[in-house]
Each structure stands twice: as structure tokens, then as C-alpha cells.
């Protein structure tokens, strides 16, 4: 959990020239201006989930989820690597095709 006024690193998704979404770390740091907490309930599972959103001083209209905000550049870069190469880091995950031998 971060505090208002704290400087953080943010990751975002962008399409490359081939039309594939890739995760990147912003070149500059952001300063947190507002923290918003939402509770969402699922009708099927009757389960509550908490979501934390962050708004920054540079663009208060856009909000980022808590899993896109990091305190260090290294941890943000590592998370981008994991998300961009999901099958490499999670070879047995469901929903993804695995290579046939």
C-alpha cells in the first residue's frame, strides 16, 4: 500500500508494430495524488473483492490498478518481463496453448 505524495514507478500496456500488447515501464516516476478503494461483489460466487486504484498528479483523469504500481524500477521491470513472457514463467498454466513435441 502506498501513500499520497509518494513517488512510484508505473507499468502500462502498449501495442507494438506487430499488433501485440507488451508491458513497459514509464520513463519517469509518478507522484500519487489520490487513492481510491472499491469493493466489488460477484453474484455467482457471493464473494467480495477489493480493488485499489491510484491517480497521479500528471494525469488525474486516468487511474491505475494497484498491480501496476511499484516502489522500485527493478521490481517494475521484473513484472514486465513476467507479463510479457507468461508461458516461460508459467509453463503449466491453464488457458494457454503449450508447444507440441
Over residues 47-71, the pLDDT tens digits come to 888 889 999 999 888 989 988 999 9
Q: 507440441: which residue's cell? A: 100
Cα radius of gyration (the chain): 16
CA dist., res. 35 & res. 1, Å (int):
10
Please check the confidence at residue 97 and state whether its pLDDT lies above 60: no
Query: Is the pLDDT higher at 47 or at 93?
Result: 47
C-alpha cell at 11: 507499468
Write the CB contacts of 5 (distance below 8 Å, at least 6 apart in sequence): 31, 32
pLDDT score for 101: 40
Query: For the chain, what are the domain ranges?
Result: 7-89
Amino acid at each position: 500500500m502506498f501513500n499520497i505524495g509518494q513517488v512510484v514507478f508505473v507499468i502500462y500496456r502498449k501495442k507494438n508494430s506487430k499488433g501485440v500488447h507488451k508491458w513497459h515501464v514509464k520513463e519517469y516516476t509518478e507522484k500519487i495524488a489520490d487513492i481510491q478503494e472499491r469493493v466489488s461483489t460477484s453474484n455467482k460466487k457471493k464473494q467480495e473483492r477489493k480493488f485499489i486504484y491510484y491517480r497521479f498528479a500528471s494525469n488525474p483523469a486516468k487511474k491505475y490498478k494497484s498491480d501496476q504500481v511499484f516502489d522500485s524500477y527493478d521490481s517494475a521491470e521484473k513484472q514486465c518481463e513476467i507479463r510479457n513472457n507468461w508461458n516461460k514463467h508459467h509453463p503449466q498454466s491453464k488457458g494457454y496453448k503449450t508447444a507440441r513435441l
